[in-house]
Amino acid sequence: MSQQAEWWKQTTVYQIYPRSFYDSNGDGIGDIEGIIQKLDVLHALGVETLWCSPFYKSPQADFGYDIADYLSIAPEYGSMEDAERLIKEVHDRDMKIVFDMVLNHTSDQHGWFVESKSSRDNPKRDWYIWRDGKGKGLPPNNWKSMTGGSGWTYDEQTDQWYWATFLPFQPDLNYRNPEVKQQMFDIVRHWLSKGVDGFRLDIFNAIFKDTSFEDNPFSWRPLPSEDNPDGFFQSNVHTINHPDTFQFAQELRAVIDEFDTPKRFLVGEVFGPTEKICDYCGDGSDGLHLVFLFKSLHVPMTAKGFGELLDEYETHFQAPLMPTYVFGNHDRPRRDKTEEQARLQRLFQYTARGVPFLYYGEEIGMKHHSLPLKTALDPMAEKYKWIPQWMATFMVKQGILLNRDECRTPMQWDASPNAGFTTADAAPWLPLHPDHTKRHVAAQRTSDSLWTCIQRLLQLRKQHPSLHAGTLERLPSSHKDLLSYQRNHQDAPTIRVYLNFGKQTITLPTQAGTCLFSTHTPRAQELPLPTQLRPYEGVIIQCP
Ligand code: GLC
Ligand code: CA
């Protein structure tokens, strides 16, 4: 396969949360026209692929992850024409665009569910997962939802229970029904024919449930984690990462492969041990193209932490598979604390072998915004409003986010009121982070900043085949705070990367070459070949 055909292996992705990105009409809510108006800025930054969280028709109970019609656009975000124009405008700039596809469930307002719920013998009854209870007030089995508590909801009218992996207003579709599968494949085809370059697949690993409907076994784990979806004292063997879901990845890949020029791609949101979730990618040609690897969301800022992450991903995602590097998204706490750590982490993210995902705002180091749980708009927080605020804050430190409003605050564009996200007199749908008057794109584009640091990294990654298409080899380390590796490519010079995760200066091995980048030096300055790394400094060296 040619390099071009496998563009998705070399790309860099930027996630847009449309509601929070840019409001073009002053109603306080970001919209599609707003994304279009900011494409030039994203192009100037140098990101290659955009992933937009859902803007399909939806009651917005989970802000778009509850779809009421997969083939129309929510009016607050724009029209079908706007969506088509967005695809075109992205392509006109030589960029790609990936839509979010929620296959697992619909909104309870979707016409299919309204029908399904209407009576036991409705033709759409079997499009969702309905079961008899075990007795009065007792659900069909002990299965827990991903958000905690039983995933079953009782429907009085038809005296049966329906299954919802996430929240009760998001009923799961029944993929054992061939009509459902065909319908969803056709929806995927519909968007691909409109030119969409691929999909991010929401909670993909929940799609198939076991047909036995037997109880899930007990587990001692109170809470799920990125690499172990068991939790709430239950092992999710019958509900998460079911063997049939791996099989389904192959079927979906075949649908995607019907579209050839250009090739399209799939990235799955899955949770589980790295050695297991790599199986979603099959042999690299017959499964999902990529899966999100979420361990990075919690990696400690140490050479050991990042080194172990690298080793684990390199082991389980050997070529032709490709790892992903994710440090934030619309569900997780924002990680950036200090500027120097942010720069170091971006250097790692853009020079490791893998597809990097940047969440909007990470290019300016946007900070996590602690907000009261009691007034949260996020429906997940609704479920946990009884938790005291101090505990919610403590959980964020552990990487668990109950109020996802905190990482979805409006993008900070400039020094104008409301940080230029919306008009001065409008009320943004979520409060801005208090540092918006100082931290914004306008200020960072014109100075030595995180934004320009990322821009430079993206340029280098594009320029150097070793960085976007090379293999990765760990270099021996002389210091506990030093992480170093090199990227090799048969047709291009080898590139070495050195990262100092500590407070001490580290002496580098003597070598020849050219220094292409340092996290500590403004772009315009000449870069002498370093013999030492300053605290938290990272450099890129091109070998002769
Ligand atoms: C995924 C999404 C999240 C959403 C949930 C249910 O985890 O990332 O935002 O609430 O699925 O669709
Ligand atoms: Ca708007």
Ligand 1, from 56, 65, 294, 359: best to mutate by most atoms within 8 Å of Cβ? 65
- Single pTM value for the model: 0.97
Distances (CA, A) of 82 to 33, 37, 78, 413, 464: 7, 12, 6, 22, 35
Q: Do residues 499 and 33 lie in contact, with contact meaning Cβ atoms separated by under 8 Å?
A: no
Residue 83 C-alpha to ligand 2 middle, in angstroms? 14
Are 93 and 130 in a shared domain? no
Does residue 140 share a domain with residue 96? Answer: no
Atom of ligand 1 nearest to the CA of 102: 12
Residues 308 and 420 in one domain: yes
Amino acid (one-letter) located at 216: N
Q: Choose one of 394, 415, 450: the last residue of a domain.
A: 450
> Is residue 461 situated within a structural domain?
no
CATH code for the domain in which residue 188 is found? 3.20.20.80
What's the pLDDT score for residue 367?
A: 97
Q: Is the dihedral of CA 247, 250, 256, 259 positive or negative?
A: negative
Label residue 240 by pLDDT band (50, 70, 90).
Answer: very high
What is the residue-wise DSSP string for 211-277?
A: TT-PPPPB-S-SS-BTTB---SSB--TTTSS-HHHHHHHHHHHHHHTT-TTTT-EEEE---S-HHHH
Does one domain contain both 370 and 517?
Answer: no
Q: What is the DSSP string of 16-30?
A: E-HHHH--SSSSSS-
pLDDT of residue 2: 46
Residues 192, 283 within the same domain = yes
Which ligand 1 atom sits nearest the alpha carbon of residue 165? 6
Q: Average per-residue pLDDT in the chain? A: 96
CB 436 within 8 A of CB 414: no
> Which one from 202, 314, 336, 537 is the annotated catalytic residue?
202
User: Is any ligand 1 atom within 6 A of the Cβ of residue 51?
Assistant: no
* Host domain of residue 120: 111-163
Query: For residue 82, is it within any domain?
Result: yes
Residue 205 shares a structural domain with residue 344: yes
With 0-12 / 13-18 / 19 or more C-beta atoms within 10 angstroms meaning exposed / middle / buried, residue 72 is: middle
Q: Nearest bound ligand to CA 226?
A: 1
Our answer to whether residue 269 is catalytic in this structure is yes
Peptide bond just before 300 cis, omega within 30 deg:
no
What's the number of domains the chain is made of?
4
The number of the ligand nearest the C-alpha atom of 33 reads 2
Handedness of CA 331, 467, 321, 300 (dihedral sign): negative
Nearest-angstrom CA–CA distance, 464 and 462: 6
Same domain, 281 and 193: yes
Does residue 294 share a domain with residue 151? no
> Closest Cα to atom 4, ligand 1: which residue?
65
Query: From the CA of 455, how far away is ligand 2's center (Å)?
Result: 28
Inform me whether the pLDDT recorded for 273 exceeds 50.
yes
Query: pLDDT tens digits for 109-131?
Result: 999 999 999 999 999 999 999 99
Say if ligand 1 is within 6 A of residue 540 CB: no
In a domain, 133, yes or no: yes
Active site residue 202: yes
Instruction: Say how many Å lie between the CA of residue 32 and the centre of ligand 1.
Output: 20
Instruction: Output the CA 226–ligand 1 centroid distance in Å.
Output: 14
Query: Both ends of the chain: CA-CA distance in Å?
Result: 30
User: Side chain identity at 483, as an amino acid letter?
Assistant: L
Question: Taking 90 as the threshold, does the pLDDT of residue 524 lie above it?
Answer: no
Residues 386 and 262 in one domain: no
